[in-house]
A and B are shown apart, each in its own frame.
Chain A
Amino acid sequence: MSELIDFTLVSVALLGIGIYGLAVKRNFIRMLFAIEIIINAANLNLVAFGRFLPHSGGQTLALFSIAIAAAEVAVGLSLIIVAYRMYHNVDIADFRSLKG
C-alpha cells in the first residue's frame, strides 16, 4: 500500500495546477475548473490523513466538503449564466459593472 507522503504529494501537485489555472486563465468556466481541482486536492488530503491516523473524522469532513462544493458549483454556474446574459462573453476582464 502507498504511504501518506505519496498522497500528499499528489495533492500538492493538484493544488499547484489549480493555482496556475486561477492565475493565468481569464475564462470564467476555466477558473471554476481550477477551483474544483483545488477543492479535490483538499479532499484527498482529508481522506488520506483520516486513513493513516486512523480516525473517522477525515472522511466525515470530506463528505461535508463535497456537499458544500456542490452548492458552490450551482451558485457559480448560475452566476456564469447571468454574467453571460449581460455581457455575451465569459471573459472576466469584461465583467466590470461593479467597478467605480
Chain B
Amino acid sequence: MADIAFLALAVITIGSAIAALEMRSLIYGSIALMGTLGGVAGFFFLLDAPFVALFQIAVYVGSIAVLILFTVMLVKRELIFKKIEDPRRKFAGIGLMLVMMVALGAVFIDSGIKTITTDEPPVNFRDIGADFVMYYWPALILMGLILAGSVTGALVLARREDVENERTN
C-alpha cells in the first residue's frame, strides 16, 4: 500500500501538472511546471535514485524551468494572460485523456506488474558511473556532441536579426 510521502508527492505532481496547463497566467503556469518537475524528483528519491533526483533538480528545476520563465517574460504582456485554446476541442481532449488513463491504467493493473516487489538493495550509483564509461561511452560522446550542436543551433536561431514577417513591414 502506498505511504503518506508517496500520496503527497502524487498529489503535488499531478495537481501542479494540471495547474501548469490550466492557469491563466503563463508565469504561474511555468512555476507550477517547476512543481511537477520537483515532484518527479521527489519520486526519484523515493525510488532510491538520489543521483538521478539531483540531476533532475539541477537540469530541470534549475535550468529548464528558469529558461522557460525568461522566454515567457519576453512575450507581450497581454499574450501572457490570454488563454489560447480551441473550445470545441476541450471536451474532446478531456475525453481523450480519460480514455487513455482508464485504458492504460486497466492494462497495467491487469498485467503482472502488480505482483512485482523487490527486497534487493537499490542500485549503487557507482554502477551507473561504470555503465557510463564502460558500456555507453560512445553514446555519451554522441550525447555531448548533440548537446553542443543543439545549443549552438539554438543560439544561432535566436540571434538572427533578419527574421521579419512581411505582414509586419
Q: List residues of A whose CB falls within 8 A of some B CB.
A: 1-10, 12-21, 23-27, 29-30, 32-34, 36-37, 40, 43-44, 47-48, 50-60, 62-64, 66-75, 77-82, 84-91, 97
Contact = CB atoms under 8 A, between A and B. Distances in A.
B105 interface: yes
Contact of A68 (B56, B84, B117, B143): B143
B93 A23 contact: yes
Given A33-B33, A59-B49, A60-B136, A23 B89 contact: yes
B60 A66 contact: yes
Secondary structure at the B interface, as helix, strand, loop or mixed, is: helix
Nearest to B58: A66
Contacts, number: 247
B56 to A, nearest CB: 6
Given A25-B85, A81-B158, A12 B123 contact: no
A33 to B, nearest CB: 5
Query: Closest 6 interchain pairs by CB?
Result: A24-B93, A71-B150, A78-B154, A20-B97, A56-B127, A16-B101
Interface string B15-57: 0011011000010011001001100100110111101100110
Contacts of B122: 51, 54
Contacts of B84: 25-27, 30, 90-91
B3 to A, nearest CB: 6
